[in-house]
Amino acid sequence: MSSAATKPQVISAPRIPNSGFIYDLPLTITQQLCQHLDSLGIWVQVAQRMRFSEEDIQSINRRIKATGESPINELLNIWGGKYNHKILELYMVLQKLKAYQGMRILKDYVPREYHILIPESGPALSQILPSERTDRPPRNNIGGLTPAASVTSESRSTIVSSDNNTSSNNNSWRSRSHLQPNNGYQAKPQTPRVEKEINRHHEAGLPEIDYHELTVGTNNWDERYRLGKGGFGIVYKGVWKLTDVAIKLMTYKDSDGQEQAKIQLQQSRNELNCLYRYRHDNILPIYGYCITGEKPCLVYQLMKGGALYDRLNSNKRPPLTMQQRIDISAGTARGILFLHTLLPNISLIHCDIKPGNILLDQCLQPKIGDFGLAREGPQDNSYIEVAHVYGTRGYLPPEFADLRRLSKHVDTYSFGVVLLEMFTGLPSVVDNKNFLRDYIKVLLQSKTIEDLIDKRIKLKPEERSLCKMGIELGLECIRDDPLKRPNMEDLVKIFNRYATVD
């Protein structure tokens, strides 16, 4: 988003008391407001009152045309979810536009003294709408809208790095693939980031947990209960409702500035939304959240088998057997396939598949966790360009690390690196300088695939071919051309043939 729109000043009221943030609104209220304002077709006027730049409005217009999303919801996600504007500010924007019915929808969520701004009867639509209704989007059949707003500038988006790539002449992946336009690896306008807010999950049924219960369940956050520490907080083992749980106590460090703290908070909201929406045997279950204590918390099922990373790199436990590695590969592939295919035309791309984010239960069944970097993308072979590269060094494919092109094939590549780690015993970065992909390519100049098998695995004669298969599939997944990597569905079918039947 351009500097002109990052900190809009739209409130002229003499006194603005503390009020809830836009993301605090119940989901039903947000949906009602979006439906009403979308039906008026005034989203461009709303964006202008929010002080979005012309370039930002153009970018949003292109994006909602491609996705069919509600334009008002898109504005609220950016203005309210990303930049933390309050309900009262939105209320005053609607007052400037004389959108009094929208104000009535929000009335219960602003201080009572502001209710007098709503007249007893609303104005005629001609007082709200522009003289030519060129920006009114038609409804679609799922309660959203297909925007058709008319705006003037055709400049490139400043909200994301590029969402207008379909005319690029140097798309080497497309030319190498020799595919028809509908199937080739083409650029697409960016789909919306998963940006639902924590408080909305209370409306949807995810329980808000009392902070005191978590304090008791961790013996007042006893250091002996600590399982690990990351950039966004500390994970504790605890007990809640007589059930073993893992509790992420989030700390938003602002040593890099307030913007970094906002990013950390948004990633936690992102993870909460993903874990709540995507329920699957191979996705980490979330039990609830807490925002009433000293620090916000997320509460998960405790994975008693630990992280796959620890099982691959620790000498405290016996090495995983070949069958266990096959089962973990199969379960992880099923989880990734579920993320990529649950929603029509949209893939949820995890963006950080690695052994540290593959957690094992007491039966060593894998659960994919840590969705802080996940985002929605195209389900076909196209890609979106993103403003920033994120993820973990050693697991990022070249088209993402170098060109910022994000697609579902990024997860396939990362899964391939995990397979190579599991079946060769080598780390993703060898000697702290060589990516595993490049290191193995050098080894294969003088060695065979069978030479790469992890020597720590005690293999039965019939298992050597399975280990070799795991390495070969890993090599297929890390091919430079995204279109030549295998489909996750095919990988699931292959591993399922050899996995343990429950």
Catalytic member of 352, 361, 370, 454: 352
SS (H, E, C) 99-110: CHHHHHHHHHHC
Among 326, 371, 267, 367, residue whose Cα is nearest residue 500 = 326
Q: Please confirm, yes or no, whether 256 is among the known catalytic residues.
A: no
- Pair 74, 93: CB distance under 8 Å: no
| Per-residue CA distances from 77 to 25, 192, 214, 217 (Å) | 12, 9, 30, 35
- Could you give the CA distance from residue 100 to residue 94 in angstroms, rounded to a whole number? 7
Q: Rounded to the nearest 5 degrees, what angle is found at the Cα of 68, between the Cα atoms of 164 and 187?
A: 25
d(CA 33, CA 52): 20
Rounded CA separation 23/86 (Å): 8
Phi, psi of 93 (to 5 degrees): -60, -45
Residue 204 · residue 27 · CB < 8 Å? yes
Helix (H, G, I), strand (E, B) or coil at 244: strand
Nearest to 246 by CA among 334, 361, 331, 373: 361
Q: Is 468 annotated as a binding residue?
A: no
One-letter amino acid at 195 equals E
> Taking a C-beta distance cutoff of 8 angstroms, is the pair 45, 97 a contact?
yes
CB atoms within 10 A of CB 182: 9
SS3 444: coil
φ and ψ of 168, to 5 deg: -65, 135
Active site residues: 352
Binding residues for ATP: 248
Binding residues: 248
